[in-house]
């Protein structure tokens, strides 16, 4: 069974967005992530920002990138739920860590946080 057939066969809440909507949301979020994370990493590489401030961005990026292989490759719902909670928690950590240095980066995470909050509730609902 393909990953899409598998995903469609899962019991999901009635408010679950269509896959095309989910894709569109990520098309909007990825440029924000690229610019803000790129800025943070560039500042850390230049020594203008501590790597401790950049650490939650690194963890978030890794957790974000491994979500789809866990969810759709391994089809491991409990592990995907743990992973998305890590993504969600590290967004909060990122905002707290970067706020006093570059508030615009923190504020730019708002749409990412809103979407990942929704996706986390969705994932936990599907896993349950």
Q: What region, left, alpha or beta, does residue 50 occupy, with left being phi > 0 and alpha being psi -120 to 50 degrees?
A: beta
Per DSSP, the three-state class of 4 is helix
Rounded mean pLDDT of the chain? 96
Angle at the Cα of 99 (from 95 to 103), degrees rounded to 5? 105
The lowest-confidence range among 4-8, 55-59, 69-73 is: 4-8
Which residue, among 37, 58, 52, 59, has the nearest Cα to 97 in the 3D structure? 52
* Residue 47 to residue 113: CA distance in whole angstroms: 27
pLDDT band for 39, please (50, 70, 90 cuts).
very high
| pLDDT over 90 percentage in the chain | 91
* Residue 100 to residue 117: CA distance in whole angstroms: 24
Per-residue confidence (pLDDT) for residue 108, from 0 to 100: 98
CB 44 within 8 A of CB 102: no
């Amino acid at each position: 069974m393909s990953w899409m057939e598998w995903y469609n066969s899962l019991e999901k809440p009635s408010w679950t967005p269509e896959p095309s909507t989910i894709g569109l949301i990520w098309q909007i979020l990825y440029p924000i992530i690229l610019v803000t994370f790129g800025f943070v990493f560039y500042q850390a590489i230049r020594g203008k920002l501590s790597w401790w401030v950049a650490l939650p961005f690194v963890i978030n990026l890794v957790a974000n990138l491994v979500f789809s292989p866990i969810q759709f490759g391994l089809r491991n719902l409990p592990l995907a739920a743990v992973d998305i909670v890590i993504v969600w928690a590290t967004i909060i950590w990122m905002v707290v860590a970067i706020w006093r240095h570059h508030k615009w980066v923190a504020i730019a995470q708002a749409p990412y946080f809103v979407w990942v909050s929704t996706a986390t509730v969705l994932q936990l609902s599907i896993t349950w």
